[in-house]
């Protein structure tokens, strides 16, 4: 069955199901413990939701190989788009399972639409009201992911990355600081300009590359941080470290990033670089290299270039 991924601010059913899915996965413990994952402290069960946090952190900590740009198994190189597509797909399958709904598609946040508004209105987007994700706070105290120290069922961050880049155990609320570190989100002109870039990626396959991927990831001029990176910085709080999937908005951001990539693939053909014949120094980023995974059997970039039999977007207009 092909599912449809829709705009979180337009499709109220998808929005409510998304919140429900996060809640269910956060409360599901299937066996792995912090000791199994090498996280210091008492051995405690790790929720399915938090396993995705660990997966993202581990990929960011896996150099492929070390370069001056710190290219890793999920970022700062060509695999950025395929790896996150792979992650979103695995999360979507888990949502469908816990929701008992094989028609569920992950929603996306069209942040460039919000970026067209004034800085003040961006912070007042409907995404951040109490009926959607809640707003800023340390901790967040509004919306479905609010924190109440006296309520053991309230949303809690249990694993995050410390200042040394190590995963540690926590028991605290979610943190956000909307617009405090950078004033505005990307605009429609930013996404449109990125969509017009070719090729997908170029040498040196890093944060200094020309092409579509590096601009979408947010390292390339004319402004940096841009696009994906700018959204992380604008949201702030738990969206800043390698444990950024702690904030459920992470997936709404990346679903929109994936939507922009899908629009590029639709326009330019199902093309990816580098090819498998590229240098072994690019292992992990070539078209048939297996991508890092803690959650499922691995996939390759070539496996995810055409997902239209699995999901489509309600709109590719960016």
* pLDDT of residue 73 exceeding 80: yes
Give residue-wise pLDDT tens across range 225-234.
999 999 999 9
* pLDDT of residue 223 exceeding 80: no
Give residue-wise pLDDT tens across range 51-62.
999 999 999 999
pLDDT at 119: 98
pLDDT at 153: 87
Query: What global pTM score does this model have?
Result: 0.97
Give residue-wise pLDDT tens across range 179-197.
999 999 999 999 999 999 9
Give residue-wise pLDDT tens across range 13-52.
999 999 999 999 999 999 999 999 999 999 999 999 999 9
| Mean of per-residue pLDDT scores for the chain | 96
pLDDT at 68: 64
Question: How many helices (H) and strands (E) are present in the chain, helices listed first?
Answer: 9, 6
> What's the CA gap between 289 and 302, in Å, rounded?
9
Q: In sequence order, what are the beta bridge partners of 45? A: 33
User: How many CB atoms sit inside 10 A of residue 303's CB?
Assistant: 17
* pLDDT of residue 66 exceeding 70: no
- Reported in sequence order, the residue ranges of the chain that DSSP labels E, i.e. its strands, are 3-5, 29-33, 45-47, 157-161, 167-172, 311-313
> What's the CA gap between 105 and 66, in Å, rounded?
36
Give residue-wise pLDDT tens across range 276-290.
999 999 999 999 999
**Domain 3-312 class, CATH top level:** mainly alpha
Closest residue by Cα to residue 291 from 55, 97, 27, 54: 55
> What's the CA gap between 147 and 190, in Å, rounded?
35
Question: What's 3's DSSP letter?
Answer: E
């Amino acid at each position: 069955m092909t599912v449809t991924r829709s705009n979180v601010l337009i499709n109220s059913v998808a929005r409510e199901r998304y919140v429900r899915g996060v809640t269910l996965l956060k409360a599901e413990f299937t066996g792995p413990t912090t000791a199994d994952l090498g996280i210091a402290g008492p051995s405690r069960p790790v929720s399915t939701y938090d396993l995705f946090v660990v997966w993202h952190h581990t990929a960011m900590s896996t150099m492929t190989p070390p370069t001056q740009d710190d290219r890793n198994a999920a970022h700062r190189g060509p695999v950025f788009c395929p790896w996150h597509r792979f992650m979103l797909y695995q999360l979507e399958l888990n949502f469908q399972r816990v929701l008992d709904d094989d028609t569920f598609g992950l929603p996306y946040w069209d942040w460039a639409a919000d970026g067209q508004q004034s800085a003040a209105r961006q912070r007042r987007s409907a995404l951040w009201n109490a009926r959607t994700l809640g707003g800023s706070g340390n901790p967040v105290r509004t919306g479905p992911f609010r924190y109440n120290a006296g309520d053991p069922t309230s949303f809690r961050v249990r694993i995050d990355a410390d200042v040394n880049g190590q995963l540690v155990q926590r028991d605290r609320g979610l943190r956000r600081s909307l617009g405090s570190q950078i004033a505005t989100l990307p605009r429609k002109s930013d996404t449109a300009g990125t969509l017009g870039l070719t090729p997908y990626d170029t040498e040196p396959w890093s944060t200094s590359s020309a092409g579509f991927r590096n601009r979408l990831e947010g390292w390339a001029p004319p402004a940096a941080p841009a696009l994906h990176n700018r959204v992380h910085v604008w949201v702030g709080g738990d969206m800043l470290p390698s444990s950024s999937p702690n904030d459920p908005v992470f997936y709404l951001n990346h679903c929109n990033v994936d939507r922009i990539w899908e629009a590029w693939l639709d326009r330019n053909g199902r093309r990816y670089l580098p090819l498998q014949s590229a240098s072994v120094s690019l292992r992990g980023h070539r078209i048939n290299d297996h991508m890092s995974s803690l959650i499922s059997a691995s996939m390759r970039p070539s496996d995810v270039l055409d997902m239209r039999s699995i999901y489509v977007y309600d709109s590719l207009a960016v």
